[in-house]
């Protein structure tokens, strides 16, 4: 248990915006930590609910569909169909917060 005033810092995949349920259900994307990623507002809400304040989400990398085109196509995913739904919405980020005193 984190003491009051303690700090939390993690690196995680975060979603910015809505992502269709069918993309989240895809097992291949789940294995790549994409489908299970929390939306940024949900991440903040859960941290606030656990008693954290000063929550910061600092993007370190934005993921684009083109980077995974070959992998996704090899798994039978219609890359052109999902591109407008997910491109740029997944980020790696440092998530920081402080336990309320």
Please determine, for residue 76, whether its predicted confidence score (pLDDT) is greater than 80.
Answer: yes
Q: Can you list the domains of the chain with their CATH numbers?
A: 7-99 (3.40.50.150)
pLDDT at 42: 96
- Report the alpha-carbon distance of residue 66 to residue 25 in Å, rounded: 20
Q: Give one DSSP letter per residue of the chain, joined into a string.
A: -PPTT-EEEEEEEEE-S---HHHHH-HHHHHTTSTTPEEHHHHHHHHHHTTEEEEEEEEEEEE-HHHHHHHHHHTT--HHHHHHHHTTTEEEEEEEEEE--
- Report the alpha-carbon distance of residue 58 to residue 12 in Å, rounded: 10
pLDDT band at 24 (very low <50, low <70, confident <90, very high): confident
pLDDT tens per residue, range 28-64: 777 777 888 999 999 999 999 999 999 999 999 999 9
Please determine, for residue 94, whether its predicted confidence score (pLDDT) is greater than 80.
Answer: yes
Q: Are 23 and 29 in contact (CB under 8 A)?
A: yes
pLDDT tens per residue, range 34-44: 888 999 999 99
Mean pLDDT (the chain, rounded): 91
pLDDT at 23: 83
pTM for this predicted structure: 0.84
């Amino acid at each position: 248990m984190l003491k009051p005033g303690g700090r939390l810092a993690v690196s995680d995949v975060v979603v910015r915006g809505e992502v269709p349920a069918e993309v989240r259900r895809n097992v291949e994307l789940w294995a790549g930590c994409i489908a299970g990623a929390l939306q940024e507002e949900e991440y903040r809400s859960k941290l606030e609910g656990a008693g954290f304040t000063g929550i910061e989400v600092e993007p370190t990398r934005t993921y684009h569909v083109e980077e995974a085109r070959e992998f996704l196509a090899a798994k039978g995913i219609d890359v052109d169909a999902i591109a407008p739904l997910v491109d740029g919405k997944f980020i790696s980020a440092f998530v920081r917060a402080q336990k309320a005193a």
